[in-house]
Amino acid sequence: MATATKTFKNFIGGEWVDAASGETFETTSPANGDVLGVFPRSGAEDVDRAVEAAKAAYEDWRLVPAPHRGEILFRFGRLLADHKDELAELMAREMGKVLPEAAGDVQEAIDMSFYMGGEGRRLFGHTTPSELRDKFNMSVRQPIGVIGVITPWNFPIAIPSWKIAPALVCGNTIVFKPATDTPLLGERFVELLVEAGVPAGVINIVHGGGGAVGDRLVRHPDVPVITLTGSRETGIEVMRNAAENLKHIHLELGGKNAIIVLDDADLDLAVEGIVWSAFGTSGQRCTAASRVIVQRGVYGELQGRLVGAAEQLRLGPGWEQGVDVGPVINKRALEKIHSYTEIGKDEGAKLLTGGEAAGGDGLGDGNFYRPTIFGDVDPQMRVAQEEIFGPTTALIPVRDVDEAIRVSNGIEYGLSSSIFTRDVNTAFRAMRDLEAGITYINAGTIGAEVHLPFGGTKNTGNGHREAGQAALDVFTEWKSIYVDYSGKLQKAQIDTAE
Ligand code: NAD
């Protein structure tokens, strides 16, 4: 069932419109190259119109009671649930992940919509005592204005929801730029928001590239907040380009996540966790396990079992039943992933399995890459240091838990981390000492839940967190309010009335 090619538009100020230039680009399936839709290739003029619409809509939206804004998110969550199968199917076609994972991606957006919908009746501030008599103190969250939302292609429904749901409930308006590899899912996301009742101008979508659309949003003086999920390199560029306007910049960037397996681990569980974390979504998760740090006592056995398990994985189009690993996003990604295979071999790592693109057997012209495992990897090799963003993982032997933690921390990223051990003392040490925003005990590196903060340390971000209560700090500003009902001028720190 191929999706019929259709031409789509931007959504600005409540209307579906073409790009000012009239130019377009196509979105294609990474599994077979089918063209799934034609989208406007927008530019600065389109962004400016969208920002103007969002700025105008903000004046009323910020005054809509937060519980009502939350009700729209509840409706949105229900619509996502009604359309879950359709969206998952579309995701398998446009982005490539297998159906159960695609359904999980949509489920995350459902969960986030309900969680943030509920925030409409919370958005808690604080009341505190005053140091003076007859004076009342409180702090409240206030919306900020137009939020520029720039997203990657790997979680094409979940990631927009992590940003747009909290931004909306807090009273902001949005200009959304989805990745050019997944515009169709971005479009469906916005259509459902509109159906849920988001008013004209509050949500706008502008399709196009990072250089044209994204960069204009980043530099636009009327967009005070940019929330970006993408690569470290893009994050650095965005931060630099936004400096002129001293914007709030929220960055969720790359990872080089490790699973530690100690001698006392449950190996069955560890193998399952590693295979799921390294090869799920073809390794194209920011939390993918691209390093496995193994204590020497179990290294040989774990290596053998992992290679066996990886070779059992079935590659194919994500929408086919029984497929474990779908394609990678595009030909450029395929080339990058393969270049790291060559780099690993040149560095002296042992290629244990995979290491090549896969074709034939119904894989056609899709961007398939065999699950790849390197053994005997030195922690300083590039395959153990740089984000590959594909189905490649590196086994690193270590002596003991001290070395394991040192190696796990010895990278520039700090998103997710994991340890398999049956020793509770070691587990608690790992929780304390692993330098990462997320630590899993006896589970792989993936599986975040929406009510906990999500994000990383070091070069994975700039100190903010997505999801949970932490997300609210990205999309609101604190205001402290002092109400003096004494009828006289009291001076804090000077009038120390008793
Ligand atoms: P990318 O950085 O190439 O692009 C991300 C988005 O930024 C796209 O919409 C792109 O068009 C836009 N963009 C690119 N250059 C820009 C610029 N100069 N100004 C403004 N916008 C610009 O990333 P990608 O390939 O789409 O996604 C993969 C990356 O995302 C990986 O590094 C992965 O680890 C990361 N990621 C991180 C998280 C997280 O939560 N930490 C989650 C998912 C993905």
Q: Check pLDDT > 50 for residue 281.
A: yes
The superfamily in CATH containing domain 10-253+461-480 is Aldehyde Dehydrogenase; Chain A, domain 1 (3.40.605.10)
Ligand 1 and 179: CB distance under 6 A:
yes
**Strands 225-229, 248-252: pairing kind:** parallel
Q: Check pLDDT > 50 for residue 1.
A: no
- Beta-bridged to residue 39, according to DSSP, are 25
What is the pLDDT of the chain when averaged over all its residues?
97
- Strands annotated E in 213-330: 225-229, 248-252, 257-261, 289-295
170 is known as an active-site residue? no
**Strands 372-375, 392-398: pairing kind:** parallel
Q: Check pLDDT > 60 for residue 3.
A: no
Three-class secondary structure of residue 138 per DSSP: strand
* Among the four given CATH numbers 3.20.20.80, 3.30.360.10, 3.40.309.10, 3.10.310.30, the one describing domain 257-441: 3.40.309.10
Ligand 1 and 19: CB distance under 6 A:
no
DSSP, residue by residue, 307-321: HHHHHHPPB--TTST
Average pLDDT on 13-38 reads 97
Can you tell me which atom of ligand 1 is nearest the CA of 178? 9
CA dist., res. 276 & res. 156, Å (int): 20
Query: CA of 378: how far to CAs of 259, 341, 372, 398, 399, in Å?
Result: 15, 15, 17, 10, 13
Ligand 1 and 149: CB distance under 6 A:
no
CA dist., res. 260 & res. 432, Å (int): 15
Substitution candidate for ligand 1 out of 39, 149, 150, 392 with most atoms within 8 A of CB: 150
Set 101, 119, 286, 466: catalytic member: 286
CA dist., res. 58 & res. 336, Å (int): 42
Q: Looking at residue 497, what is its pLDDT?
A: 57
Within the chain, which residue ranges are assigned CATH 3.40.309.10? 257-441
Structure tokens at 223: 């967009």
Set 101, 187, 252, 466: catalytic member: 252
469 contact partners, CB below 8 Å, separation of at least 6:
453
Ligand 1 and 413: CB distance under 6 A:
no
Q: Is residue 306 exposed (0-12), middle (13-18) or buried (19+ Cβ within 10 Å)? A: buried
Can you tell me which atom of ligand 1 is nearest the CA of 235? 2
Ligand 1 and 460: CB distance under 6 A:
yes
pTM of the model: 0.97
The alpha carbon of 91 and the centre of ligand 1 are apart by a number of angstroms equal to 18
On the CB side of 495, how many CA atoms lie within 13 Å of its CA? 12
Ligand 1 and 53: CB distance under 6 A:
no
Q: Check pLDDT > 90 for residue 256.
A: yes
pLDDT in tens, 225-241: 999 999 999 999 999 99
The alpha carbon of 280 and the centre of ligand 1 are apart by a number of angstroms equal to 19
89 is known as an active-site residue? no
On the CB side of 166, how many CA atoms lie within 13 Å of its CA? 27
Using pLDDT thresholds of 50, 70 and 90, give the confidence band for residue 190: very high
Substitution candidate for ligand 1 out of 228, 231, 332, 465 with most atoms within 8 A of CB: 231
CA dist., res. 445 & res. 270, Å (int): 11
Ligand 1 and 253: CB distance under 6 A:
yes
Query: CA of 119: how far to CAs of 64, 66, 78, 453, in Å?
Result: 14, 8, 16, 15
Q: Is 494:134 a contact under the CB 8 Å cutoff?
A: no
Within the chain, which residue ranges are assigned CATH 3.40.605.10? 10-253+461-480
